[in-house]
């Protein structure tokens, strides 16, 4: 089969490799769609721990075509999405439900081969059937949508809470879609330029702020005069995190959903201490696939338009280049397979 392989940081190529066979407890999925994520670029650049050589790709959908255990045979032929978390299911962390803290935790697309390939091996326990009215491309986007759902859940966001989203990348925009679906109000999205904010406006953001042209702190005083109930940083940028801490209301919540790339950052502790803020980490998708796909199937969230560039696997360089340059109008490149 064809697979995009990162041999070592900075070295990526399209390879012909053997079709993998699923071990017991796993299935093989014929990939139908796999979206390129900004995180994959971090893997390519060597900024995230990964097992090289590696095929990246953790935002996928497809059809089960082989199983490792006879009792999983009923999955064959099913349209699916699924969790990327591979764990032991036996240790104390797994048994308590905190499986992401499993000592053997491995994630597909990082420690194990992912979906920039014709086939991917995934654990049966994480599978989720993709309803007929959700396309493969839309289904692949359940992964970033799940990150957004998990972020709002960890933030304790409630119906009619006010919300500020820092950043209009895929995760920021997924959080916007999820915040709208759950009935948050006066949702503000900010980004440096208008480029992505046009999309946020179309998706129903109540307000957008281009921080290169407008003063974020001053604008927010007008929109949420007493501060914001839930501020979500989806940038991982120091200045944005500092501002998030200033913009949350007294007793409000700041959720950190952006990857900080291992950088040390300065924050003013008193912004948290004096105002009794809750600051929560929200770095991953913790079993949110089923919820995400239900929102799509019920028509409460439609992010299919995120897939601005449908590409073939042979065009991987174009896809990676688009993801890096993020030209106007671009949101996501998605590999589509016959
Ligand atoms: Zn991703
Ligand atoms: Zn475990």
> What are the DSSP E strand ranges found in 148-298?
162-166, 185-191, 207-210, 228-233, 248-256, 278-281
- Three-state DSSP state, 216: helix
Instruction: Please tell me the predicted confidence (pLDDT) of residue 125.
Output: 95
Cα of 144 from ligand 1 centre, angstroms: 5
Tokens of 142: 């359940």
Instruction: Please tell me the predicted confidence (pLDDT) of residue 95.
Output: 94
Is the whole model's pTM more than 0.75, yes or no? Answer: yes
Cα of 107 from ligand 2 centre, angstroms: 13
If phi > 0 it is left, if psi is from -120 to 50 it is alpha, else beta; for residue 160 that is left
Whether residue 53 has a cis bond before it, omega within 30° of 0: yes
Cα of 270 from ligand 1 centre, angstroms: 33
Cα of 306 from ligand 1 centre, angstroms: 13
Cα of 59 from ligand 2 centre, angstroms: 23
Ligand closest to 89 (CA) is: 2
Question: Which DSSP symbol is given to 18?
Answer: P
Cα of 81 from ligand 1 centre, angstroms: 14
Ligand closest to 91 (CA) is: 2
Instruction: Please tell me the predicted confidence (pLDDT) of residue 113.
Output: 98
Ligand closest to 98 (CA) is: 2
Cα–Cα distance between 332 and 326 in angstroms, integer? Answer: 9
Annotate 101-149 with DSSP letters as a single string. Answer: G-TT-EEBTTTB--SSBSEEEEEGGGEEE--TTS-HHHHHTHHHHHHHH
Cα–Cα distance between 25 and 89 in angstroms, integer? Answer: 11
Common-topology check for domains 2-141+303-336 and 148-281: no
Question: Which DSSP symbol is given to 330?
Answer: -
Cα of 85 from ligand 2 centre, angstroms: 11
- Tens of pLDDT, residue by residue over 153-187, are 999 999 999 999 999 999 999 999 999 999 999 99
Q: Are the CB atoms for 25 and 125 separated by under 8 Å? A: yes
Cα–Cα distance between 251 and 63 in angstroms, integer? Answer: 46
Question: What φ, ψ does residue 304 adopt, rounded to 5°?
Answer: -60, -30
Cα of 95 from ligand 2 centre, angstroms: 7
Domain locations in the chain as residue ranges: 2-141+303-336, 148-281
Q: Are the CB atoms for 337 and 33 separated by under 8 Å? A: yes
- Three-state DSSP state, 15: strand
Ligand closest to 86 (CA) is: 2
Cα of 236 from ligand 1 centre, angstroms: 15
Cα–Cα distance between 306 and 145 in angstroms, integer? Answer: 11
Beta bridge partners of 332: 307
Ligand closest to 93 (CA) is: 2
Tokens of 329: 């109008």
Cα of 106 from ligand 2 centre, angstroms: 10
Cα of 130 from ligand 1 centre, angstroms: 19
Q: Are the CB atoms for 187 and 163 separated by under 8 Å? A: yes
* Cβ count near 71 (within 10 Å): 10
β pairing state of 26-35 and 332-336: antiparallel
Q: Which fold has domain 148-281?
A: Rossmann fold (3.40.50)
Ligand closest to 96 (CA) is: 2
Query: Taking the chain (338 residues) in consecutive chunks of 10 residues, what is each chunk's mean pLDDT?
Result: 97 98 98 96 94 97 98 98 95 92 95 98 97 98 96 97 97 97 98 91 97 96 98 97 98 95 93 97 85 97 97 97 93 92
Ligand closest to 58 (CA) is: 1
- CA 35, 324, 108, 70 torsion: positive or negative? positive
Ligand closest to 95 (CA) is: 2
Cα–Cα distance between 234 and 250 in angstroms, integer? Answer: 21
- Tens of pLDDT, residue by residue over 50-67, are 999 999 999 999 999 999
Ligand closest to 99 (CA) is: 2
Q: Are the CB atoms for 231 and 207 separated by under 8 Å? A: no
Cα of 193 from ligand 2 centre, angstroms: 43
Cα of 12 from ligand 2 centre, angstroms: 32
Domain 2-141+303-336 belongs to what architecture?
Alpha-Beta Complex (3.90)
Looking from the CA of 308 toward its CB, the CA atoms found within 13 Å total 16
Looking from the CA of 81 toward its CB, the CA atoms found within 13 Å total 33
Ligand closest to 144 (CA) is: 1
Ligand closest to 43 (CA) is: 1
Annotate 173-208 with DSSP letters as a single string. Answer: HHHHHHHHHTT-EEEEEEESSHHHHHHHHHTT-SEE
């Amino acid at each position: 089969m064809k697979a995009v392989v990162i041999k070592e940081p900075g070295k990526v190529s399209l390879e012909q490799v053997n079709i993998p066979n699923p071990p017991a407890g796993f299935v093989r999925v014929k990939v139908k769609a796999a979206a390129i994520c900004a995180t994959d670029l971090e893997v390519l650049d060597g900024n995230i721990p990964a097992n090289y050589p590696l095929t990246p790709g953790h935002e996928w959908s497809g059809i089960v075509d082989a199983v490792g255990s006879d009792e999983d045979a009923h999955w064959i032929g099913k349209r699916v999405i699924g969790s990327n978390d591979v764990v032991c299911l036996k240790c104390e962390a797994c048994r308590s439900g905190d499986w992401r803290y499993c000592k053997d935790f491995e994630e597909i697309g990082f420690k194990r081969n992912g979906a920039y390939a014709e086939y991917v091996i995934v654990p049966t326990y994480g599978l989720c059937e993709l309803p007929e009215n959700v396309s493969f491309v839309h289904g692949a986007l359940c992964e970033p949508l799940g990150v957004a759902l998990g972020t709002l859940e960890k933030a304790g966001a409630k119906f009619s809470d006010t919300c500020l989203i820092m950043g209009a990348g895929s995760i920021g925009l997924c959080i916007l879609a999820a915040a709208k679906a759950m009935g948050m109000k006066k949702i503000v999205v900010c980004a440096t330029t208008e480029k992505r904010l046009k999309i946020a406006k179309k998706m129903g953001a109540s307000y957008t702020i281009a921080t290169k042209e407008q003063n974020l702190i001053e604008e927010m005083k007008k929109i949420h005069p007493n501060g914001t109930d839930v501020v979500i940083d989806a940038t991982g940028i120091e200045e944005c995190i500092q501002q998030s801490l200033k913009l949350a209301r007294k007793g409000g919540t700041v959720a950190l959903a952006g990857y900080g790339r291992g950088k040390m950052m300065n924050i003013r502790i008193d912004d948290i201490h004096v105002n009794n803020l809750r600051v929560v980490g929200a770095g991953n998708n913790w079993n949110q696939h089923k919820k995400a796909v239900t929102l799509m199937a019920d028509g409460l969230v439609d992010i299919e338009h995120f897939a601005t560039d449908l590409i073939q696997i042979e065009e991987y360089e174009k896809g990676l280049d688009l993801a890096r340059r993020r030209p106007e109008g671009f949101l996501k490149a998605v590999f589509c397979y016959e």
